Amino acid sequence: MNIPRTSYPRVVIIGGGFAGISLAKKLGKKEVQAVLIDKHNYHTFQPLLYQVSTGGLEPDSIAYPIRKIVKDYPNFYFRMANVEAIDTENKSVCTDIGDLAYDHLVIATGSKTNFFGNSEIEKHSMVMKTIPESLNLRSLILENFEQAILTSDLADRNALMNFVIVGAGPTGVELAGALAEIKKGILPKDYPDLDIRRMKINLVQSSDRVLPAMSEVASEKAEDYLQKLGVDVWKNLRVTTYDGDWVQTNGAVNFKTATVIWSAGVKGATIPGVDGEELITRGNRILVNEFNQVKGFDDIYALGDIAAMQSDEYPSGHPMMAQPAIQQGKHLGKNLIRKIEGKEMKPFSYFDKGSMATIGRNKAVVDLPKFKFQGVFAWFVWMFVHLFFLIGFRNRLVVFINWVYNYIRFDREARLIIRPYKKRKHMSSQ
Amino acid sequence: MNIPRTSYPRVVIIGGGFAGISLAKKLGKKEVQAVLIDKHNYHTFQPLLYQVSTGGLEPDSIAYPIRKIVKDYPNFYFRMANVEAIDTENKSVCTDIGDLAYDHLVIATGSKTNFFGNSEIEKHSMVMKTIPESLNLRSLILENFEQAILTSDLADRNALMNFVIVGAGPTGVELAGALAEIKKGILPKDYPDLDIRRMKINLVQSSDRVLPAMSEVASEKAEDYLQKLGVDVWKNLRVTTYDGDWVQTNGAVNFKTATVIWSAGVKGATIPGVDGEELITRGNRILVNEFNQVKGFDDIYALGDIAAMQSDEYPSGHPMMAQPAIQQGKHLGKNLIRKIEGKEMKPFSYFDKGSMATIGRNKAVVDLPKFKFQGVFAWFVWMFVHLFFLIGFRNRLVVFINWVYNYIRFDREARLIIRPYKKRKHMSSQ
């Protein structure tokens, strides 16, 4: 990888998400040689991917060049690579651009979509964990309507306008809400020759409430908002399979649809070499101690979604979201310096800032540790918080302008099929 | 295509570029049934594609949804399709989504890259006529530097940092200038472990001056600007072939490079059925009379780049750029209404508003019919004119903000490899 060895200890960070970047910022100007590896050359602000999929934001304004983040750090290296394995024997990371020795290794690979072993669902459904995936979904949604115009078969047309979102966590709820707003504000004007009332947005949740990780009141309010927006919420319903045509469930209802978006679960993105049975717990996460050290290793750490730091308060680890990743990244930054300086590391303690989700314009739910609120104010809080955590002044400004514009104009102008997702079938002429 | 026949005559427009959109706006609220066909669901503002390729602008802010442009037109239909042929016998357009009968047909398919029959250059070089092509180039440029870091072979590394732009028209000149500014302002910070001085930007022009379509003074000034920016300008040099490794020329110099951008020429994007020898003239353009009527057809018209309206002033047709396309589109709009109302059509006359090109910050050249100027003021004029012709308030605002930001910060933040263009080769570890 053309990275010279120096007198500084080398810290290799795998993953440029919230955890990896927070750690990088702490180590940047310290006396360590840090190497950040990511398969993309940019950091992705995942909480807003659903707005890319629904044409509300440009992909480029929720992505930020990693090299720009680290450019002022004297001993910092970035490499764009896929990590294939970790050789803990020889303390080396194996990637598609070669191997790299480490003194300290930090695994911040985050999470990936969990299909719970259902390969048929995996084959036919869309996911939304990366920008390319979100753009594929954006293309598919629009291609479906372009195709719906052309087909004279009513069942086919309805299937093209039928959207099934599996999983009512924040991603599923926010996507369902955004689709409902497009249905109301944009599609009837864009497709006057389609009966958009036939468009259906189904949100399927296996448990008895949406946003199960949030408070009861948030769940109730969110479901109320979704219903007001015209989303069909299906609770206590489990999707068993999808063959690209029909969604089968464990209930009485099945769905004929061209589009299934799978947001029913994530699992840790483990790497061969540090994925031994004794290390892995629920959700395919790596067991770590209170210093984020991987069980049984003194020099390997795991952060964020991939790390399960079990405690009495969080028996199965912290929630898989941005805040624990950011806080663990910052904390490990300080701890690594301490360790390198021969000092004691300090245990991590998570400060729960709460959680939130937006359903649509003026409709959001916020759970703070002390109190919970919903509605317009919650919506403004949601926007402010997301702008705050976006990286980069330009990104913040462009996102803000898009939000103001979309709000005033009830519009979403990035409804572009830049790269078609599917080849449209031949249609009979008329 | 599910388009009902009405009592209104049907005008089919092929192509949603400057010409097609200008025409559409004229016909939108008139008593005709207009059908616009384009292979994309958006209009592309081609003059700014080079800024997408060089990370200065998001692709979405130079694209505009065609359905949004036409949504208020009562008798207007848009179809996303590839036109495969025109059946002039039966007055029908054949597409990949079926056939469509027309009463009046308007061909506004614009131009495509002209490799002058050199299939090897076509196979190995990059072009920049569409947004996907521009994004591919953006990815390739960045991937080249990521790869250059990894290779220890100096010749390979230099080839990865060597850019050969063939053709010094506006596209070639503007791209060369933008690359030179990235070399100066961004790459040294992004790639501290590369010697960016080794990066070369070669602009190859077969004739004796850059911007040959503009005035002598513009050419001289533009070349002067390019040289100041560190671009190697090669005049009277013709690229004969490129095998993906070496560029061969008719001169003493050859280039070892990983990237050739071909902007040496365009040709009309003709469609089978209206491409008979007697119709086609220089540059593969369709001969039209002063009403934009295709030679020998009363009901088929051609507009913009694809149309060659020969006159004493323009013996080989109007220049292949935005202005003639826009003016012909508007004019034909009025003429078609006249014709349908049984009135005489009026001959088109081109109002030359001049031409301009930007080389870099504060560096542009403007040729107006009356007078010519260069430098800072020209640069502001260039920006104002391009903002003015961009479609959509949001696009203008976002582009403007990006320009202000890039100007103040000497930055270009869209340096993102969203979709890698090439698989990077395996590199030896180190």
| Residues of chain B contacting A44 with CB distance shorter than 8 Å | none
Q: Cβ(B171)–Cβ(B263) under 8 Å?
A: yes
Instruction: Kindly report, residue by residue over A270-282, the tens digit of the pLDDT.
Output: 999 999 999 999 9
CA distance A406 to A182: 11
> Which pLDDT tens digits describe chain B residue by residue (430 residues)?
889 999 999 999 999 999 999 999 999 999 999 999 999 999 999 999 999 999 999 999 999 999 999 999 999 999 999 999 999 999 999 999 999 999 999 999 999 999 999 999 999 999 999 999 999 999 999 999 999 999 999 999 999 999 999 999 999 999 999 999 999 999 999 999 999 999 999 999 999 999 999 999 999 999 999 999 999 999 999 999 999 999 999 999 999 999 999 999 999 999 999 999 999 999 999 999 999 999 999 999 999 999 999 999 999 999 999 999 999 999 999 999 999 999 999 999 999 999 999 999 999 999 999 999 999 999 999 999 999 999 999 999 999 999 999 999 999 999 999 999 985 443 333 3
Report in angstroms the alpha-carbon separations of B108 from A105, B65, B76, B80, B168. Answer: 58, 18, 17, 15, 25
Residue A67 inside a domain? The answer is no
Amino acid identity, position B3: I
Residues 6 or more apart in contact with residue B205 via CB below 8 angstroms: B167, B168, B172, B212, B233, B234, B235, B236, B237
Q: Which domain covers residue B153, as residue numbers?
A: 119-264+361-409
Q: Letter for the amino acid at B416? A: L
**Residue B75, helix vs strand vs coil:** coil
Same domain? A275 vs A300? yes
Show the tokens assigned to A100.
């790299």
Q: Is the pLDDT of residue A171 over 60?
A: yes
Percent helix, percent strand, percent coil in chain B, to nearest 5: 35, 25, 40
Q: What is the pTM of this model?
A: 0.95
Q: How far is B250 from chain A (nearest CA, A)?
A: 38
| CB-CB contact of B164 with B202 (8 Å) | yes
Do B427 and A41 count as a contact with CB atoms less than 8 A apart? no
Q: Can you say whether the dihedral through the CA atoms of B34, B38, B44, B45 is positive or negative?
A: negative
Q: Are residues A196 and A238 in the same domain?
A: yes
Give pLDDT, residue B38. Answer: 98
B146 → chain A, closest CA residue: A80
Residue numbers in B near A430 (CB within 8 A): 1-3, 98
Residue A98 to residue B428, Cβ atoms within 8 A = yes
ipTM of the complex: 0.94
Looking at A89, A146, A174, A278, which residue is catalytic? A174
Which of A43, A49, A97 is the best residue to mutate to test the B interface, defined by the most B CB atoms within 10 Å of its own CB?
A97
Evaluate whether B105 touches B301 at the Cβ level (below 8 Å).
yes
Asked whether the beta carbons of residue B426 and residue A97 sit closer than 8 angstroms, the reply is: yes
CA distance A67 to B413: 10
CB B99 within 8 A of CB A429: yes
Closest-CA residue of chain B to A411: B68
Instruction: State whether B190 and A71 contact (CB < 8 Å).
Output: yes
Q: Are A312 and A219 part of one and the same domain? A: no
The confidence score (pLDDT) of residue B427 equals 37
The contacts of residue B349 (CB under 8 Å, 6+ apart) are: none
Instruction: Tell me, yes or no, whether A205 and A233 share the same domain.
Output: yes
Contact B96, B4 (CB under 8 A): no
Q: Do residues A274 and A397 both lie within one domain?
A: no
A143 counts as catalytic: no
Q: Is residue B156 part of a domain?
A: yes
The answer as to whether B3 is a domain residue is: no
Residues in chain B: 430
Kindly tell me the sign of the dihedral angle through the C-alpha atoms of B236, B242, B247, B252: negative
> How does strand B10-14 pair with strand B104-107?
parallel
Cβ neighbours of B401 in A, within 8 Å: 394, 397-398, 401
**A10-14 and A33-38 strand pairing:** parallel
Q: What is the dihedral of CA B303, B304, B309, B310, to 10 degrees?
A: -170
Contact B301, B332 (CB under 8 A): yes
Q: Which of A186, A85, A95, A189 is nearest to A138 (CA)?
A: A186
**Could you tell me which chain A residue has the CA closest to the CA of B131?**
A418
pLDDT, residue B423, reads: 52
Q: Averaged over A217-233, what is the pLDDT?
A: 98
- Please tell me which of the candidates A41, A59, A71 has its beta carbon nearest to residue B142: A41
| The pLDDT of residue A426 is above 60 | no
Do A226 and A200 share a structural domain? yes
DSSP label of B91: T
Residue B232 neighbours by CB distance under 10 Å? 17
With an 8 Å Cβ cutoff, are B416 and A42 in contact? yes
Nearest in space to B401 (alpha carbons), one of B50, B59, B56, B64 = B56
Nearest CA in chain A to B82: A424
C-alpha torsion sign, points A329, A331, A335, A338: positive
Please answer whether residues A46 and A39 qualify as being in contact, where contact means their C-beta atoms are separated by less than 8 angstroms.
no
Contacts of A65 in chain B (CB under 8 A): 190, 413, 415-416
Contact residues, chain B, for A67 at CB < 8 Å: 189-191, 415
Yes or no, beta carbons of B1 and A416 under 8 Å apart? no
- Residues B34, B28 contacting (CB under 8 angstroms): yes
Task: Say what the pLDDT of residue A422 is.
Answer: 82
Contacts of B417 in chain A (CB under 8 A): 40-42, 80
Distance, CA of B160 to CA of B191 (rounded, Å) = 13
Query: Contact A1/A79 with Cβ under 8 angstroms?
Result: yes
Chain B residue whose CA is closest to A52: B60
Mean pLDDT for all residues in chain A? 95
Å between B429 CA and nearest CA of chain A? 4
Residues B210 and B164 in one domain: yes
B352, part of any domain: no
How confident is the model at residue B1, as a pLDDT? 85
- CATH (domain of B316): 3.50.50.60
Question: Is residue B169 included in any domain, yes or no?
Answer: yes
Closest to A163 measured CA to CA, from A223, A222, A242, A224: A242
Residues of B acting as catalytic residues = 174
Give the number of other CB atoms < 10 A from CB of residue A72: 11
**Distance in Å, alpha carbon of A346 to nearest chain B alpha carbon:** 34
Is B307 a domain residue? yes
Please say which residue of B307, B340, B373 terminates a domain: B340
Q: Which amino acid is at A240?
A: T
Indicate if B146 and B220 belong to the same structural domain: yes
Place of tokens 């080396």: A92
Is residue B208 assigned to a domain? yes
Is residue B66 domain-resident? no
Q: B424 contacts in A (CB within 8 Å)?
A: 80, 96-97
Residues B330 and B379 occupy one common structural domain? no
Q: Residue A55: closest CA among chain B residues belongs to which residue? A: B60
How many structural domains is chain A composed of?
Answer: 2
Q: What is the pLDDT of residue B252?
A: 94
Q: What CA–CA distance (Å, rounded) separates A370 from A218?
A: 14
- Distance (Å) from the alpha carbon of A208 to chain B's nearest alpha carbon: 38
Which of A65, A97, A146 lies nearest to residue B415, judging by beta carbons? Answer: A65
Residue-wise pLDDT for A229-258, tens only, equals 999 999 999 999 999 999 999 999 999 999
Kindly report the CATH number assigned to the domain that includes residue A185. Answer: 3.50.50.100
Q: How far apart are CA B75 and CA A367, in angstroms?
A: 49
| Residue entry with tokens 């709460």 | A354
Using left for φ > 0, alpha for ψ between -120 and 50, and beta otherwise, residue A211 falls in: left
- B162/B156 Cα distance (integer angstroms): 10
3 state DSSP class of A321: coil
Task: Pick B413's closest partner by Cβ from A79, A394, A413.
Answer: A394
Are both B143 and B249 inside the same structural domain?
Answer: yes
Both A190 and A146 in a single domain? Answer: yes
Task: Please tell me whether residues B256 and B271 are part of one structural domain.
Answer: no
Task: Work out the percent of chain A whose per-residue pLDDT is above 90.
Answer: 97
End-to-end CA distance of chain B: 59
Which residues from B are below 8 Å from A192, CB to CB? 71
